[in-house]
Structure 1
């Protein structure tokens, strides 16, 4: 067992890390923004302190919860750091949320303040807003009428003249840093509680040894994912720099890399596929990107070093854990996740938590060798926390096998979840919204393979007696009530869903059948649904 102490606060707690770097290397660039602009460490600290003072003026103190509902950009970055600067808890939520899912996370968060993009605020008017009192609006002044207090972000920053006060107590590595929502399987989305040490430990110099202090990491995954906010934290703790992008776009990816002089990036496997499938050009190696993570490792990922001159690494990670598995440079075997880091105990077990022999498939479970290294439960959800942490081990819900050389291979998800374009989608939450339609009797949401890798969402439904349903009209109903990435591509209407003797829907059978001849495909009908573009 590896023995080590938790690092000091000025190594892993963002407030003290930012203050230290602003003192030791004030003029070093911390962030460059796609499209222009940059902040040094000193400038970043000045901006963060201003935003922190605004939050305190609105009543936020240490340990309070603050929801951030913003696309990537300057405000998303400074609010993240400012919330943690005063020792409050950062709760980023997906900009695609609406309807019942949005209502659930707002209620679960216990936040009284939300910082939201002005084009998203209207969605709050359609739901119960629980403890929310104030909306700090980023963007144009809103003319909306609401019982909530609506304030203009830019004006509040401009009018703030005082400095923020210090936290009532020192912020410690084990304090709650963030609550990040992950897809539920048998229930609503769960808020993963992470300490400052967890946010640091999963991507520190030992975990992500391939990232160096002179690297600039391109942040093109959303800040409401750990592939956004935790990587920002990792580069901050290294004293390195980031490039902030609104998001991944195949056509402009390499232009953004060149513009921002980025040297590293985190890519989902499907992103590698899109980039590899672009027509080769003489500029394929004309850039400064030296390394990329590809998760998972696909056949296209393996082609990256030869095509683009970029070293590839892969890992296995989740919001809840700490990169327990990482590969060597340029692995060549698609599906392999790498070998275990020496900071956790890993087992592959059967349904009774009994370890299986090498070569056999089972669930990967993890137990860290030191405290606070991974999540410490799901917020306000003791039942889900107990299920995940049963027998003293965290259960990933993912099927793996290990070979005799210690290589781990991802096989499949054990959970009833769908993964589309990097988003974990709860079949439960899709089904809730579909079942709200007045003509639907019951439904099941399942994953089906996508031609781009990962999954597409398919629903199989039965209508109420003497009712008929039009798929395109159903899509209109769903698009208004669920995140864009949850809207099903495939719709199949049946007389009755297959069930077990105990009346449980036989999803395994439906998954086996997949897309049938009588399945309606919205993309075949020219209907594509994309994320709302926020100004």
Structure 2
């Protein structure tokens, strides 16, 4: 892609891509499921056009917002594509939402039509539904929803006739509104263009110079939800490449390798603790004989290196969020733990202070971004001009993430600024504490948060869950951590849980850990008589 240019419609816009691949490779699979279902490019186009025509007859016009509340699956995939094919905007909802956050998203979307699973749609009876007037239940039983017209799946059937659009869909048109996880505040609706999703998907599957490591013969496992860029970006990457996806409802450790084999998956994203879960599974005979060739491990903890060595798979890592397009990419098979990589071609990055002044090398600053290609980043937050202006101030997109860069140009995520911990006059990265805690063989996952100290500032609490078959004495964990981290980073409190609270995208909901605070079952290092102090230097 030439700097300053956007991709053309035929290589960027979903409607054009579906038509082009269906004509060129009609019998080639685009999506397969572990259960054995397959949809070819020609079959995809036929189903998408049938639903797009039905949506038009339901009153959906070009540019309208359409809410989608479905789990991962072929129905959800076709629904997304049909909305875009009709020139409308895809607005997926987190399947865990209910109550206040659901009401917020429905209101913010401004949508009049929702396509939902019946079991989820029943939650609408508990909230004010704003502009929403009609719900199509694509699967499951139809709930009674006073004040809303509720239709069955037959309303989405059609003969493939699609009315002409008012104008061609352009790369800069809004393709989707993806809502942020909302772990630190109300979810914001990220406005994403076709050019943005194209940039995200193609960068996800490329090196820093833009050379793709996937092709038409690759199959990307989509095990993250379609209401998240973890699900939409790889799907779009394969649509652009003319490849295929293995579509799963969710990641599952126990069945992961069987699913890789059954679906002939060649590429996967392992987000959060997925890689840790897999490397802590018992060794299996022949586990290196697998079709999987590339694993994108985010974040890149020590388990990323172990994963490569154990399974013989090329590992990669990068930094991304809903608003950007993979601005940081590491070289293949990275060896620097916790790296996010270096800037990819076409992006400019700075680390800045609260006044947007660049910080010195080695200091921590907020990552801000801009790109050579127009529309390769988000174009704001839906219905939230204040958040848009704040994020885009001074001509740069502000990520809200604290980073540092080393002398070799490697960027390291330090923390969300809202998750930072201040202890004994030192700033502590919760992310770096979690990396070291998770290095213990008994620990499956961990979340470090600040809790109040009787002396002011913060104390550090680590909530963790254990790997299968392991037990852990918190005192042994402290002994493990002391030689691995600065004294002020060693947690005072340890709480062991069966599982940490998470969003459906497997992000730990730290605010819930923080709200729970010091519970009766929390272990206190100081009450146990274990003091951790600065090492005295002789001389």
Provide the TM-score with structure 1 as the length reference.
0.79
Q: For 1:326-475, what aligned pairs fall within 5 Å after superposition?
A: 326-415=329-418, 449-451=462-464
Distance in 2 of aligned mates of 1:400 and 1:74: 38
- 1:517 offset after TM fit, Å? 5.7
CA contact (8 A) 1:269 1:298 kept: no
1:256 has 2:259 as partner: yes
1:170 has 2:168 as partner: yes
Q: 1:211-269 CA deviation, whole Å, 9 max, x = no partner?
A: 33321000000000101012111110111100101110000011111110010011113
- CA RMSD across the alignment: 3.0
Match of 2:54 in 1: 54
Distance in 2 of aligned mates of 1:208 and 1:76: 31
Distance in 2 of aligned mates of 1:217 and 1:57: 34
CA contact (8 A) 2:4 2:374 kept: no
CA contact (8 A) 1:270 1:452 kept: no
- 1:492 offset after TM fit, Å? 6.9
Match of 1:156 in 2: 155
Distance in 1 of aligned mates of 2:40 and 2:91: 25
Matched position secondary structure for 1:323: coil
Residues 92/276 of structure 1: CA separation in 2 closer, same or farther (3 Å cut)? same
Matched position secondary structure for 1:120: helix
Residues 143/175 of structure 1: CA separation in 2 closer, same or farther (3 Å cut)? closer
1:235 has 2:238 as partner: yes
CA contact (8 A) 1:304 1:310 kept: yes
CA contact (8 A) 1:96 1:485 kept: no
Matched position secondary structure for 2:177: strand
CA contact (8 A) 1:218 1:266 kept: yes
Residues 314/148 of structure 1: CA separation in 2 closer, same or farther (3 Å cut)? same
Matched position secondary structure for 1:265: strand
Residues 126/330 of structure 1: CA separation in 2 closer, same or farther (3 Å cut)? same
- 1:157 offset after TM fit, Å? 3.9
Of the structure 1 ranges 200-209 and 231-240, higher mean CA displacement relative to structure 2 is found in 200-209
Match of 1:115 in 2: 115
- Unaligned stretches of 5+ in structure 1? 428-445, 454-477, 494-513, 522-535
Distance in 2 of aligned mates of 1:228 and 1:98: 21
Distance in 1 of aligned mates of 2:245 and 2:142: 31
Distance in 1 of aligned mates of 2:193 and 2:218: 25
Matched position secondary structure for 1:119: helix
Match of 2:71 in 1: 71
Q: State which of 309, 313, 331 in structure 2 corresponds to 1:310.
A: 313
Distance in 1 of aligned mates of 2:523 and 2:146: 40
Distance in 1 of aligned mates of 2:54 and 2:510: 37
CA contact (8 A) 2:122 2:143 kept: no
- Unaligned stretches of 5+ in structure 2? 421-429, 435-446, 450-458, 467-500, 525-539
Matched position secondary structure for 1:116: strand
Q: 1:363-406 CA deviation, whole Å, 9 max, x = no partner?
A: 11101112111001101101111111111111111111112222
Matched position secondary structure for 2:273: helix
1:147 has 2:160 as partner: no
Match of 1:473 in 2: none
Q: For 1:493-508, what aligned pairs fall within 5 Å after superposition?
A: none
1:324 has 2:327 as partner: yes
- 1:452 offset after TM fit, Å? 5.7
- 1:51 offset after TM fit, Å? 0.9
Residues 150/448 of structure 1: CA separation in 2 closer, same or farther (3 Å cut)? farther
